[in-house]
């Protein structure tokens, strides 16, 4: 099947390490990545309105890969401006660190952010007297001075790791105020734990945008087709003498990756290394099995993923808002439009609305600390 193979055939003459590195570096533009990338690009290009962009999805779906792709594209599109003004940085990226102790470390955050902006014009206070406020002011100045357009915070769910619900509110307020003061768009990327932050305040939601980077779901016909396409494309880029027939095992690929392309990719990289070191000409089911996540590991990751997805599946029915505002009665009739509606029915229906336990504005209950 060598004629169908998409990797550079000369790779086969190179050392094993080069072949592995080729596959590790290979990035595929698959449909779910392209959908999320398009939304992110539009939100970034849209001047003004969205100051916070939440990008969330399951672990291993490819969020970091998407940020990298967007960063490269934006840098390329501003290439000329950057040549003319060496101090201009259109986009920067940091990973929000997991706090060592249970509380989020703002000092570490500011220093990392200042580190990627490396602004020679900003005088940092001497370390001994460094305060969060001074660092925040320095960061504001650096963001403005660099004329940054977009700041991507990867693993942003770590921002929610604070000791109390009240502090959680401060976390989002702090990012929001940085965005407002500097006119920089902040992309907060992370797992579904990020929803805790995004649900926090109505004001925050008004100027924020959600982008859900989903996995492929087997119950959806189109997703299934696309996932099989992903498996086939990876198959063609695995640098073996003989093209493996991964498509034959697509359901096993799905079983241990649950439709997350990044998990599948890391798994295949591992299997490729094992097979090449074995001197194998192609990838077999036994290589796949020996490199896969165990059932237990899969169950843990999958349950966590489902939990996140379920939070997003809740959609309040369209009349919930109208009922809450008193525009509509519980039974769907407009409270003010019909002359037959008596005062008694009105009072009744309002009372029954109060007793309605359905959450009506935000799909996920926030405010609790997860850290």
Q: Can you give the binding site for Mg ion, defined by CB under 5 A?
A: 63-64
Please choose, out of 104-112, 261-269, 295-303, 362-370, the segment that lies near ligand ATP by the rule CB under 6 A: 261-269
Q: Which does 261 bind (CB under 5 to 8 A by kind): Mg ion, ligand ATP, none?
A: ligand ATP
Q: Which residue from 170, 172, 200 is spatially nearest to 366, judged by alpha carbons?
A: 200
Rule CB under 6 A: is residue 360 a binding residue for ligand ATP? no
**Residue 85 near residue 97 (C-beta atoms within 8 A):** no
Q: d(Cα 371, Cα 164) in Å, to the nearest integer?
A: 9
**Residue 110 near residue 138 (C-beta atoms within 8 A):** yes
Q: d(Cα 93, Cα 191) in Å, to the nearest integer?
A: 17
Look up tokens 């309605």; give the residue.
Answer: 356
Rule CB under 6 A: is residue 238 a binding residue for ligand ATP? no
Q: d(Cα 1, Cα 187) in Å, to the nearest integer?
A: 43
Q: Which residue from 153, 173, 181, 187 is spatially nearest to 42, judged by alpha carbons?
A: 187
Rule CB under 6 A: is residue 59 a binding residue for ligand ATP? yes
Rule CB under 6 A: is residue 308 a binding residue for ligand ATP? no
Beta strand pairing call for 185-190 and 208-212: unpaired
Using CB under 6 A as the binding rule, the residues of this chain from 190 to 209 that contact ligand ATP are 191
End-to-end CA distance of the chain: 51
The helix (H) or strand (E) run that includes residue 25 is: helix 16-25
Rule CB under 6 A: is residue 65 a binding residue for ligand ATP? yes
Rule CB under 6 A: is residue 285 a binding residue for ligand ATP? no
Cβ-proximal residues to 70 (8 Å cutoff; 6+ apart), any chain: 37, 40, 41, 44, 91, 152
Q: List the one residue from 27, 270, 341, 346 that touches ligand ATP (CB under 6 A).
A: 27
Strand partners, 188: 54, 153
Using CB under 6 A as the binding rule, the residues of this chain from 144 to 163 that contact ligand ATP are none
Q: List the one residue from 259, 262, 308, 371 that touches ligand ATP (CB under 6 A).
A: 262
Min CB(142)–ligand ATP separation in Å:
26
Please choose, out of 57-65, 144-152, 193-201, 298-306, the segment that lies near ligand ATP by the rule CB under 6 A: 57-65
Please choose, out of 204-212, 258-266, 310-318, 322-330, the segment that lies near ligand ATP by the rule CB under 6 A: 258-266
Min CB(245)–ligand ATP separation in Å:
20
Closer residue to ligand ATP (CB): 257 or 349: 257
Q: Is 364 exposed, middle or buried (0-12, 13-18, 19+ CB in 10 A)?
A: middle
Q: d(Cα 362, Cα 370) in Å, to the nearest integer?
A: 18
Closer residue to ligand ATP (CB): 63 or 176: 63
Closer residue to ligand ATP (CB): 59 or 369: 59
Q: d(Cα 242, Cα 228) in Å, to the nearest integer?
A: 20
Please choose, out of 13-21, 25-33, 78-86, 311-319, the segment that lies near ligand ATP by the rule CB under 6 A: 25-33
Give me the residues that bind ligand ATP (CB under 6 A), please: 26-28, 30, 33, 59-65, 191, 261-262, 265-266
């Amino acid at each position: 099947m060598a004629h169908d193979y998409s990797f550079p055939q000369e790779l086969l003459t190179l050392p094993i390490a080069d072949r592995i590195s080729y596959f590790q570096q290979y990035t595929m533009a698959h449909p779910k990545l392209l959908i999320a990338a398009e939304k992110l690009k539009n939100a970034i290009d849209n001047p003004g309105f969205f100051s916070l962009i939440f990008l969330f999805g399951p672990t291993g779906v490819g969020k970091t890969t998407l940020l990298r792709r967007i960063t490269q594209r934006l840098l390329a599109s501003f290439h000329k401006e950057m040549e003319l003004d060496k101090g201009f940085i259109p986009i920067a990226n940091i990973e929000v660190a997991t706090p060592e102790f249970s509380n989020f470390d703002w000092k570490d955050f500011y220093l990392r952010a200042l580190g990627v902006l490396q602004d020679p014009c900003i005088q940092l206070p001497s370390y001994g007297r460094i305060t969060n406020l001074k660092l925040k002011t320095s960061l504001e100045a650096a963001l403005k001075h660099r004329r940054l357009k977009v700041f991507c915070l990867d693993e942003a769910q770590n921002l929610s790791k604070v000791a109390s619900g009240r502090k959680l509110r401060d976390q989002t307020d702090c990012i929001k105020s940085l965005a407002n003061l500097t006119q920089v768009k902040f992309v907060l990327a992370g797992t579904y734990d990020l929803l805790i932050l995004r649900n926090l305040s109505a004001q925050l939601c008004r100027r924020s945008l959600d982008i859900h980077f989903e996995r492929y779901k087997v119950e959806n016909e189109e997703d299934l087709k696309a996932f099989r396409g992903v498996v086939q494309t990876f198959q063609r880029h695995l640098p073996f003498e003989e093209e493996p027939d991964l498509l034959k095992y697509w359901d096993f690929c799905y079983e241990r990756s649950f439709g997350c392309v990044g998990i599948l990719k890391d798994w295949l990289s591992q299997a490729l290394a094992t097979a090449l070191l074995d001197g194998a000409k192609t990838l077999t089911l036994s290589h796949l099995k020996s490199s896969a996540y165990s059932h237990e590991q899969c169950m843990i990751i999958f349950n966590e993923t489902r939990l996140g997805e379920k939070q997003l599946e809740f959609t309040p029915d369209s009349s919930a808002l109208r009922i809450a505002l008193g525009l509509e009665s519980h039974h769907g009739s407009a409270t003010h439009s019909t002359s037959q509606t008596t005062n008694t029915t009105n009072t009744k229906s309002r009372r029954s609305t109060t007793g309605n336990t359905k959450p009506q504005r935000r799909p996920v209950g926030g405010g609790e600390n997860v850290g």
